[in-house]
């Protein structure tokens, strides 16, 4: 059967080559674009989580949904040390978070006030490196505040100006202090730049009566793709109290995942058009083959070949042709990815736009199993489905109608 199928494929070399090229081209395009898409998602996720949220956070249960001051992690130093030892964890930093009114001489704005440990914050967040004016903190007990540039503009403050902070402490006490602006950051995230003020952790604790408590441990990891394994390791290591939870980046910022899913869906809309064109090409090839070989098929049926066997021969021909095209397309797509993985892929205007959102200016796609198989497997299945149409025609053939006579 294999020999017969192989020779039949090459009965019309030009037609076969054209179909092969169409399948290979579509497969290569899908492999490259899906590879590019997946790599751009990785870059987006990395850039987004590295600004502030981290890949994982340990919090008190319920804090993420309802961030109340009293939902704290107590005696967190030991937990921090242990978490830093977990395989795949790059760094872990403590944070405390409150909400307060910030007043300059003439204006008052609400802000999210975050207490950070300056020595480790830069390992989980890019904000310390995004300070455009002034400087970031140097010590945990320093008296000062770093604010987003939009907040600074709204409050009409500049470096050295004093801000009055007024909020509610952990036990319902008044949280009030006056701090000088030591730095102004620009993260590219409108929300952070407009709402965030950072304080050194000790200063925060004192202001908000937090004593030694924090609200979260922010964790950065070596590879975002391993985040589920690292989460499992932390949970399995029994470091956490029963009322403490580990949240992944997609739980902390569900919007990114939704955006990726939406983008993937719209991508598949484009891909499916391409796949349909290929499927039509395959149907055309095999429909023509079946039509021109009707007499031959009828002879085979007359000689005693079972209709099912004949159908399988036609399907085997299509499998060989489609598989050949797909393998060639996968190789070509992988080569294109490898090339752009070295030189980077960008379109005009992309770098400037990416910079605004703190994203890399070019995408460096990587060859991955998903990039190699997602598109080609859909082409393969669609083509096989498409070839069922000519194959069923073979199944229904009446030998005497095909050959007219014995």
* Binder of another protein out of 180, 188, 307, 324 (CB under 8 A): 307
Cβ atoms of residues 168 and 175 within 8 Å: yes
Stretch that binds another protein, among 143-151, 207-215, 291-299, 330-338 (CB under 8 A): 291-299
Sole window of 19-27, 125-133, 138-146, 301-309 interacting with another protein (rule: CB under 8 A):
301-309
Q: Verify binding: residue 391, another protein, rule CB under 8 A.
A: no
Q: Are strands 196-200 and 108-116 parallel, antiparallel or unpaired?
A: parallel
The residues, ordered by sequence, that sit 6+ positions from 265 with a Cβ below 8 Å of its Cβ are: none
Does 232 help bind another protein (rule: CB under 8 A)?
A: no
16 touches another protein by CB under 8 A: no
CA atoms within 13 A on the CB side of 175: 25
Q: How far apart are CA 390 and CA 394, in angstroms?
A: 7
Q: Any contact of residue 299 with another protein (CB under 8 A)?
A: yes
User: Quick one: 13 or 105, whose CB is closer to another protein?
Assistant: 13
Contact between 405 and another protein by CB under 8 A: the answer reads yes
Of 308 and 361, which has the nearer Cβ to another protein? 308
- Choosing from 158, 272, 302, 356, the residue that interacts with another protein (CB under 8 A) is 302
Among the residue ranges 86-94, 157-165, 297-305, 363-371, the one whose residues contact another protein (CB under 8 A): 297-305
Our finding on whether 7 is near another protein (CB under 8 A) is: yes
Question: Contact with another protein (CB under 8 A): which of 49, 179, 301, 322?
Answer: 301
How far apart CA 252 and CA 275 sit, in angstroms, is: 36
Question: Of 304, 317, 334, 310, which Cα lies nearest the Cα of 396?
Answer: 310
Distance CA 5, CA 26 (A): 24
- Closer residue to another protein, CB minimum distance, 347 or 406: 406
> Is residue 358 exposed (0-12), middle (13-18) or buried (19+ Cβ within 10 Å)?
middle
Q: What does the CA dihedral 247, 248, 253, 255 come to, rounded to 10 degrees?
A: -130
Here the tokens at position 76 are: 């967190």
Binding of another protein by 396 (CB under 8 A): no
Size of the site for another protein (CB under 8 A): 23
> Is residue 392 part of the contact set for another protein (CB under 8 A)?
no
Residues of span 313-372 touching another protein by CB under 8 A: none
Is residue 296 a contact point for another protein (CB under 8 A)?
yes
Q: Which of 107, 145, 138, 131 is nearest to 184 (CA)?
A: 131
Instruction: State how beta strands 174-185 and 145-148 pair.
Output: parallel
Q: Is 306 in the site for another protein (CB under 8 A)?
A: yes
**Closest to 214 (Cα-Cα) out of 90, 70, 99:** 70
Judged by CB under 8 A, does residue 390 bind another protein? no
Residue found under tokens 């064109």: 277
Lookup: tokens for 364: 């460096």
Among 75, 78, 303, 348, binds another protein (CB under 8 A): 303
What residues make contact with another protein under the rule CB under 8 A? 3-4, 7-8, 11, 295-296, 299-309, 399-400, 403, 405-406
């Amino acid at each position: 059967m294999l020999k017969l199928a192989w020779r039949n494929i090459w009965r019309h070399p030009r037609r076969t080559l054209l179909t092969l090229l169409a399948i290979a081209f579509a497969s290569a395009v899908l492999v490259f674009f899906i590879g590019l898409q997946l790599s751009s998602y990785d870059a987006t996720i990395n850039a987004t989580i590295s600004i502030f949220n981290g890949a994982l956070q340990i919090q008190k249960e319920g804090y993420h949904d309802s961030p109340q001051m009293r939902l704290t992690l107590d005696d967190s130093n030991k937990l921090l040390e242990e978490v830093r030892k977990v395989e795949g964890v790059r760094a872990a930093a403590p944070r405390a978070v409150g909400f307060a009114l910030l007043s300059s001489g003439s204006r008052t704005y609400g802000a999210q006030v975050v207490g950070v440990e300056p020595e480790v914050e830069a390992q989980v967040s890019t904000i310390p490196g995004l300070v455009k004016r002034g400087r970031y903190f140097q010590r945990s007990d320093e008296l000062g505040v770093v604010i987003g540039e939009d907040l600074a503009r709204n409050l009409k403050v500049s470096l050295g100006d004093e801000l009055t902070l007024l909020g509610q402490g952990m036990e319902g006490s008044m949280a009030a202090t006056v701090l000088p602006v030591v730095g102004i950051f620009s993260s590219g995230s409108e929300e952070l730049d407009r709402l965030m003020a950072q304080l050194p952790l000790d200063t925060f604790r004192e202001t908000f009566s937090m004593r030694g408590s924090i609200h979260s441990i922010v964790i950065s990891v070596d590879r975002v793709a391993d985040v589920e394994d690292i989460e499992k390791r932390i949970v399995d290591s029994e470091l956490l109290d029963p009322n403490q939870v580990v949240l992944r980046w997609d739980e902390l910022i569900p919007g990114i995942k939704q955006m990726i899913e939406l983008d993937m869906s719209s991508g598949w809309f484009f891909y499916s058009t391409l796949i349909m064109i290929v499927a039509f090409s395959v149907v055309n090839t095999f429909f023509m083959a079946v039509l021109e070989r009707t007499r031959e098929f009828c002879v085979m049926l007359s000689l005693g070949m079972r209709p099912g066997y004949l159908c399988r021969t036609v399907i085997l021909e299509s499998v060989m042709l489609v598989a050949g095209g797909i393998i060639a397309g996968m190789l070509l797509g992988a080569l294109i990815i490898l090339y752009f993985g070295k030189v980077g892929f960008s379109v005009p205007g992309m770098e400037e736009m990416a910079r605004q959102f703190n994203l890399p200016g070019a995408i460096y796609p990587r060859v991955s199993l998903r990039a190699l198989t997602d598109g080609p497997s859909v082409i393969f299945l669609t083509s096989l489905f498409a070839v069922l149409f000519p194959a069923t025609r073979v199944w229904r053939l009446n030998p005497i109608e095909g050959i007219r006579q014995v």
